[in-house]
Chain A
Amino acid sequence: MKIMVALKRVVDYAVKIRVKPDKSGVETQNVKMSMNPFCEIALEEALRIKESGMASEVVAVSMGLKQCVDTLRTGLAMGADRGIHVETDGPLYPLSVAKLLRALVEVEKPGLLILGKQAIDDDCNQTGQMVAGLLNWPQGTFASKVVLDKEKQVVTVDREVDGGLETLCLDLPAVITTDLRLNQPRYATLPNIMKAKSKVIKKYTLQDLNVELKSDIEQVQVTEPPKRKAGVLVSSVDELIDKLKNEVHVI
Chain B
Amino acid sequence: MAAFRALRKRIVPSFKSRIFASSFNSRSISTLVLAEHEGGAIKPQSVSAVKAASSLSDENSISLLLAGSGPALHDAAANAALCDPSVSQVLVADSEKFSHPLAEPWARLIHLVQQKGGYSHVITASGSFGKNILPRAAALLDVSPITDVIEISDSHLFVRPIYAGNALCTVRYTGAGPCLLSIRSTSFPVSPISADSKSNEAPISQVDLSTFGEDSVCKSRYVKHTSQDTDRPDLGNARVVVTGGRALKSAENFKMIEKLAEKLGAAVGATRAAVDAGYVPNELQVGQTGKIVAPELYLAFGVSGAIQHLAGMRDSKYIVAVNKDADAPIFQVADYGLVGDIFEVIPELLEKLPEKK
Contacts and interface: CB of A to CB of B under 8 A. Distances in A.
B220 A180 contact: no
Contacts of A161: 128-129, 225, 283
A49 interface: no
A248 B318 CA distance: 7
Given A95-B138, A126-B138, A130-B136, A225 B165 contact: yes
A78 B160 CA distance: 34
Interface string B1-32: 10110111011001100000000000000000
Minimum-distance CB pairs A-B, first 8: A216-B175, A90-B7, A164-B227, A133-B139, A129-B135, A138-B220, A130-B139, A126-B135
B282 A169 contact: no
A66 to B, nearest CB: 13
B224 A167 contact: yes
Interface in A67-125: 89-91, 93-95, 98, 117-118, 120-125
Interface of A: 11, 13, 16-17, 19, 22, 24-26, 89-91, 93-95, 98, 117-118, 120-134, 136-142, 144, 156, 159-171, 174, 179-181, 212-225, 228-229, 231-238, 240-241, 243-244, 248, 250-251
A164 B135 contact: no
The interface size bin for chain B is 35 or more
A250 B140 contact: no
B289 interface: yes
Contacts of A90: 3-4, 6-7
Interface stretch (B70-78, B166-174, B202-210): B166-174
B264 A251 contact: yes
B147 interface: yes
B144 interface: yes
Interface stretch (B80-88, B113-121, B247-255, B331-339): B331-339
B258 interface: no
B39 interface: no
B146 A217 contact: yes
Contact of A222 (B11, B168, B339): B168
B170 A223 contact: yes
